[in-house]
Amino acid sequence: MSLWSLLRTEGRLVWKGSWVALLTLALAAASVWGGPFGTYRYAVRSAERIHALRAAYEAEFAELILDDLVAELQGTLALLHPAMGPNYLLAILAVLGTMVLPIWGAQLVGNEFRHRTAKARAAHVGWGAMVAAKVAWLLLLSAGLAALFAGIGALSGQVTWRAAQDALLLAGEVTPPPLKAPLFAQALTAALGLFFFGLVGLLTALVTRSALAGALVGLALPYVEAFVIGTPEWGWLLPRIAYGNLMVDHFVYLPGGMVGEPLALVPAPAPWVSWAVVAGWTVLACLAALRLGQRQQILS
């Protein structure tokens, strides 16, 4: 079977089940509802609080205590600006996606063992080729999610900004800060991180022959790294910290957002180093999965 035919076969299997569509829908719904629309609701509540405080105190005293609240509200409103829409949604995806992609990666392989189709498919096309096709589809899913969220961000930015201008007079005075990186670099950051954590789930499912184990290890990896290893001086070499550095370098984080700037980071010697570290870990995980697929004894 040719590689293209194998990719088409794997694609039909990926989309045959409802889990990919359901997880995508759940991730997008949670991101939009908690992100742009959640931020809009937070901005409205903040404006109402400021108006109430101004009414309760004398004008001179109110202005003194409300300066910080107004500045925070302006930052919140900036997140709703169309120019910030893709930045906001991709920043959310870069966080929440790492909780979904390990499940996807583990399911791609784990379903073969759970449904007892691994031996039959390995005998038909070869297990190594099967794993390679699944890795390719994991990459396509990661890139597709990044493109989807960039599009959703562009659309939601138009909707929330129009609503904010209608509801809040202060919105007309807000100018968003400049973006830290072009849209392509932001989407690539998110896609690369998702692909790596998806590979962790896929690789673990290959080793354990269990989708559940793969998902759990993929989800636990950042926390194990944080609490066991911590943040040593050489921490910029670790995948969680390197990915966090990439996020800080490429996304603008403002008050009132659904996600905040990653914490407990160790700055890399140069911005390109974070790219190299995350890419290196991703290539290492990819090669390990492909190598294991070639050597794993499925038919015995």
Which tens digit of pLDDT belongs to each residue from 136-178?
Answer: 999 999 999 999 999 999 999 999 999 888 888 777 778 889 9
Q: What would the pLDDT profile of 253-292 be if each residue is shown by its tens digit?
A: 998 899 999 988 999 999 899 999 999 999 999 999 999 8
What's the pLDDT at 65? 66
More confident residue, 23 or 61: 23
Kindly tell me if the per-residue pLDDT of 114 is higher than 80: no
Q: Report the C-alpha gap between 161 and 26 in whole angstroms.
A: 24
- Comparing CA positions, the residue from 94, 87, 92, 89 lying closest to residue 193 is 94
Q: What is the phi-psi region of residue 243: left when phi exceeds 0, alpha when psi lies from -120 to 50, beta otherwise?
A: alpha
In single-letter form, the type of residue at position 8 comes to R
pTM value is: 0.91
Kindly tell me if the per-residue pLDDT of 225 is higher than 60: yes
